[in-house]
Amino acid sequence: MSLEWRGAAVAPDDEMPSPEAWEPVSVPSRPGQFAGAEAVAYETTFSDPRDESDAHTLLVLSGIYAHTRVWCNGELLTSHDAYFEPLRVRLPESEEYRIVVECRAPEDRFGGLHATDQLPSERCVPGIWWDATLETRPDPCVSELSVQPQLSEADVTDASVDVSATILTEEPLDDRITLSLRPEGDVRGGGMMDRARVSTDEETATVTYTMDVRDPSLWWPHDRGEQSRYVLRAKLGDDEHSVTTGLRTVSYDGGLRVNGESVPVRGVTLRDPTVEDVARAVDANANLVRVRAQGTSPEVACACDDHGVLLWQDLPLSGPGSFDTERGTALAARLTATYAQHPSFAAVGVHDEPVSPYADGLGSGFLDRLRFRWRAWRAGYDSADAESVASAVDSVPTFPVVGPPGIDPDATTLYPGWRYGDAADLPWLYSRFNVSDAVAGFGAGALGTPGSGDSPGFDSACHDRHVDGGVEASQAYQAGVVREVAESLRRRNAPLVVVDSLRDVGDAGMGLLTADGTEKAAFSVLADSYEPTQVILSDAAPGEQDIVVLHDRPEKADLTVEWDCNGDREQAEHTVGPFARVTVDTLTLSAGDDVTLAATDGQTVVKNEYRIIE
């Protein structure tokens, strides 16, 4: 049923909002006319939507940011404080309905990136962001269904799914719910069916059940296998509810393992995630997206499942400052339960960038490095609260602290060549600081359009240093930094690397794409750098430089490697082992040289081009 909504900016107080005037708005959306408002109210009216076969009316709201209250015909029905978790409200019987939903800006530290200056104000409007629907159901019915796969990493054939079904009933009920689990599409393995007892005198009851899965078909990242899924259906009387899930294990111990096998991670950060961004991540040869310090919509999470892209899901917590540990722990548990059905769900980050930037504008000289070390020492962070929150998550790996070197983060953000120093300073950062195996952010910014630059998330000091030559020059600089850091991290065998970020949120920024998805020069550079098998130079600088094959696949490969330096072409045959780094030859290069490298296994060709500069 399509609903017509009206909205108004309101003062946040304890009463039901009653603005002087409402104006038409689209829902779901983020009405830009209310940007900057502390609270926004949304109103809709409708007649009883049920027909003769229906007994219950449910209002389902998804992405209600950030603290929400819901009234029906003047009566407060419920409140909600975790926008990543859908809200399902049973409406009382009535011939006519007036629904008022009030959404408030964060009342605590858990507004995430939307409570910072990293996003445009129009993206942070309190509102119903993802979906608003009415459901009519018979009696009794399954009003909500959730699943959580359970597999043993030691034996992935030992699989089951934990099912939780919420039952609505008007009368005392003693019945059985039928649960079926069947493969989606043309996949190996048969279906399973079980029945569980439902006995209750209450209007609402929860049934839990564990179903064993015979001969399971596993879900894999797109560069390692198929994205097998299962559909779970719950049938009670005339009512049926379904949910799609997948089977996989995921763990992290100095590297990510999926279904017990090592998976080198090549990721991108999403600051304003969309379904299209997941497909773009695949085009960039990424196999993971990190949704930074915010919730992920169901559509984006499903796109990750479909495309075989791992989902690193942060808590909405970013920036310096203490936070309520109990509240954080509760949110972490709710976040895990919300995304548990998605086989792409692979990691949780707790506290994003918990200290203010301390090295912006520093160069690579001796005194700058001393200043860097001094500021890093002073920027210490006590991770006890973040670790306490992370302990609430046991189904996927956690990164309690994501931040700069010097504070001993669980996943490090590195910006040589942008915030500080040069891209070539990465080895110094590794040697001087305890840089973690996981790199949660690297890269540089660039202009998207002529005259742009004053955009959210685009540091003005870095802008003045690196992008004052216009769009083309700034994008060329960004591409150079991204290539050098990405290739350096891969040469080091860093098991998890994530570029910051995929797409701009304004006219300029850290994105490899502009806000409308147009490619900057760095996008193709990253796609080349992220090829699972690739051939690179040890450094695109004058002097003796190695030709290195990077091979991030579990099987060995027989490769033909070819290199062309200023028109002089040579090639060699090499067999590289699983997850290997092999030096093929050494070139003596001078400024101005053009170098093209290529490799093929007889089916796929990868190529890299370099212009050697001083």
For domain 264-530, the question of CATH label 3.20.20.80 is answered with yes
Going by the DSSP 8-state scheme, the letter that residue 567 receives in this structure is: T
Residue 521 has φ and ψ, to the nearest 5°, of -60, -30
Hey, is 491 helix, strand or coil?
A: helix
Q: Check pLDDT > 90 for residue 259.
A: yes
Element (H, E) at 472: helix 471-491
Residue 598 Cα distances to 42, 294, 559, 605, angstroms: 57, 40, 10, 7
Specify the pLDDT at position 470.
86
Express the helix, strand and coil content of the chain in percent, nearest 5 each: 20, 40, 40
Query: Which has the closest alpha carbon to 127: 276, 23, 9?
Result: 9
**pLDDT value, residue 464:** 63
Is residue 463 scored above 70 in pLDDT? no
Same fold, 5-137 and 264-530: no
Q: Is the pLDDT of residue 162 over 70?
A: yes
The answer to whether 433 and 376 have CB atoms below 8 angstroms apart is yes
* Nearest Cα residue to 381 out of 437, 426, 322: 322
Choice among 227-241, 313-327, 443-457 with the minimum mean pLDDT: 443-457
Q: Which helix (H) or strand (E) holds 359?
A: none
pLDDT of residue 89: 96
- 356: buried, middle or exposed (CB in 10 Å: 19+, 13-18, 0-12)? exposed
Mean pLDDT (the chain) is 94
Q: Which tokens hold the place of 543?
A: 């002097």
Q: Encode 185-219 in three state secondary structure.
A: CCCCCCCEEEEEEEEECCCEEEEEEEEEECCCCCE
Whether the pLDDT of residue 442 is over 90: the answer is yes
d(CA 286, CA 27): 32
pLDDT, one tens digit per residue, over 78-111 is 999 999 999 999 999 999 999 999 999 998 999 9
Are residues 106 and 39 in contact, defined by beta-carbon separation less than 8 angstroms?
A: no
pLDDT band of 187, cuts 50, 70, 90: low
Q: What is the residue whose two structure tokens read 């001993």?
A: 408
pLDDT of residue 189: 55
Q: What is the pLDDT of residues 271-299, one digit of tens each?
A: 999 999 999 999 999 999 999 999 999 99
Q: Could you tell me which of 131, 83, 74 has the C-alpha nearest to residue 106? A: 83
SS3 assignment for 374-396: HHHHHCCCCCHHHHHHHCCCCCC
Q: What is the mean pLDDT of residues 509-518?
A: 96
Least confident of 30-39, 190-199, 578-587: 190-199
Confidence tier at 236 by pLDDT (50, 70, 90)? very high
What CATH architecture applies to the domain 537-612? Sandwich (2.60)
Tens of pLDDT, residues 537-555: 999 999 999 999 999 999 9
pLDDT above 70 covers a percentage of the chain that reads: 98
* pLDDT score, position 333: 97
**pLDDT at position 453, please?**
64
Rounded mean pLDDT, 380-398 = 96
Check pLDDT > 90 for residue 188: no
What is the rounded CA–CA span in Å between residue 287 and residue 497?
Answer: 10
Residue 298 Ramachandran class (φ > 0 left, ψ -120 to 50 alpha, else beta): alpha
CB-based burial, 593-608: b 16+ in 10 Å, e otherwise: bebebbbbeeeeebeb
Q: Decide: 113 and 119 in contact? Cβ < 8 Å.
A: yes
pLDDT reported for residue 191: 85
Q: Which of 558, 545, 521, 519 is nearest to 597 (CA)?
A: 545
As a whole number, mean pLDDT of residues 418-424 equals 94
pLDDT of residue 503: 98
Task: Write the class of the CATH domain 141-246.
Answer: mainly beta
Query: Binning pLDDT at 50, 70 and 90, where does residue 243 land?
Result: very high
Strands 580-589 and 543-551: antiparallel
pLDDT of residue 472: 92
Annotation: CATH topology of 5-137: Jelly Rolls (2.60.120)
Q: What is the mean pLDDT of residues 463-477?
A: 82
In contact, 586 and 592? CB cutoff 8 Å: no
Phi, psi (5° rounding) for residue 35? -55, 135
Q: Are strands 75-80 and 67-72 parallel, antiparallel or unpaired?
A: antiparallel
- Give the residue carrying structure tokens 């060699």: 572
Token reading at 453: 């630059």
Q: If DSSP states are collapsed to H, E and C, what string results for 287-332? A: CEEEECCCCCCHHHHHHHHHHCCEEEEECCCECCCCCCHHHHHHHH
Domain ranges for the chain:
5-137, 141-246, 264-530, 537-612
Tokens describing residue 339? 């995304």
Q: What is the pLDDT of residue 459?
A: 67
Residue pair 584/574 in contact (Cβ under 8 Å)? The answer is: yes
* CA-based R_g, the chain, Å: 26
Q: pLDDT of 17-70, one tens digit each?
A: 999 999 999 999 999 999 999 999 999 999 999 999 999 999 999 999 999 999
pLDDT for 157 beyond 90: no
Cα distance between residue 547 and residue 585, in whole Å: 5
* Residue 449 CB burial class (10 angstroms; 0-12, 13-18, ≥19): middle
d(CA 427, CA 422): 11
pLDDT at 467: 74
Mean pLDDT, residues 238-258: 96
Give yes or no for residue 425 having a pLDDT over 80.
yes
Note the pLDDT tens digit of each residue in 290-332.
999 999 999 999 999 999 999 999 999 999 999 999 999 999 9
% of the chain beyond a pLDDT of 90:
91
